[in-house]
Amino acid sequence: MQDIASAIQIGAKAYLARQYKKIAIVGVVVLVLVSIAFSPLVGLGYLVGAALSVMIPAEQSLRINQESPGIPKIDDAPWPGFPADLTSIMTVVATQCKGTVLIFEKMFESRLFWVDKLISMGAQILLCDPHRAVVSGPSKLQGMPVSSPDIRAGMALLIAALCAKGESINQNVHQIDRGYERIDERLRRLGADIQRVDY
């Protein structure tokens, strides 16, 4: 599981530090999720494909100006912008990165309502309003019982549990199952210490 956490951290650092930030992090997230679903080799193929695709149109510039004031921002937008469905996952990724980032959920209402669970795990997050959260990292997350409110937040909390020290119990897992079938088996094949418990 350290390999996945390392891949996420490396991708997140690339996201904050390099010119092609959207390709870097979307590529790593796609790599991790596809590797979970199929195999690491297929995930690597998707990563290369993402790097060569039109994720960033040629007419747009995504350079980070180190001289400019403010903090880096991850904000969702319609295609070809950053996908709104990955905002929750990026919030967890940001907790493991060095520095501060603004998560700005512009497209949907109340998609950040679940971050209190992440804060309880030890994340340093300031929820500004229903659409914006400032995440400072890296944070040492601690395992604890959490409940999955929906698919997106549920998967994000599962990733947080993989990054956390100690045992986490993710309840209401059927929410995750709606989008990630047999996720426990797939993560176990990658080396995660995870098991499904029926109550």
Domain ranges for the chain, please list them. Answer: 2-57+68-189
Q: By CB neighbour count within 10 A (0-12 exposed, 13-18 middle, 19+ buried), where does 5 fall?
A: middle
At 190 the pLDDT is: 92
Residue 195 CA: distances (Å) to CA of 2, 76, 168: 17, 33, 11
Which residues touch 75 (CB under 8 Å, ≥6 apart)?
A: 81, 82, 102, 103, 104, 105, 106
Which of 10-24, 49-63, 118-132, 179-193 is predicted least confidently? 49-63
* Superfamily name and number for 2-57+68-189: Enolpyruvate transferase domain (3.65.10.10)
At 42 the pLDDT is: 45
Which of 65-74, 92-101, 104-113 is predicted least confidently? 65-74
At 33 the pLDDT is: 57
The better pLDDT of the pair 135, 19 is held by 135
* pLDDT > 50? residue 100: yes
The better pLDDT of the pair 14, 177 is held by 177
At 80 the pLDDT is: 87
Strands (E), 71-184: 73-75, 99-104, 124-129, 132-137, 145-147, 169-171
Q: How far apart are CA 126 and CA 21, in angstroms?
A: 23
pLDDT digits (tens, 9 = 90+) for 75-89: 999 988 999 999 999
Distance, C-alpha 61 to centroid of its chain: 23
Q: Are 151 and 179 contacting, i.e. CB atoms less than 8 angstroms apart?
A: yes
Pick the closest to residue 170 from 143, 152, 139 (CA basis).
Answer: 143
Q: With cut-offs at 50, 70 and 90, classify the pLDDT of residue 44.
A: very low
Q: With cut-offs at 50, 70 and 90, classify the pLDDT of residue 194.
A: very high
State the chain's mean pLDDT as an integer: 77
At 31 the pLDDT is: 52
0.85 exceeded by the pTM? no
The better pLDDT of the pair 140, 50 is held by 140
Q: How far apart are CA 148 and CA 132, in angstroms?
A: 20
Cis peptide before 80 (omega within 30 of 0): yes
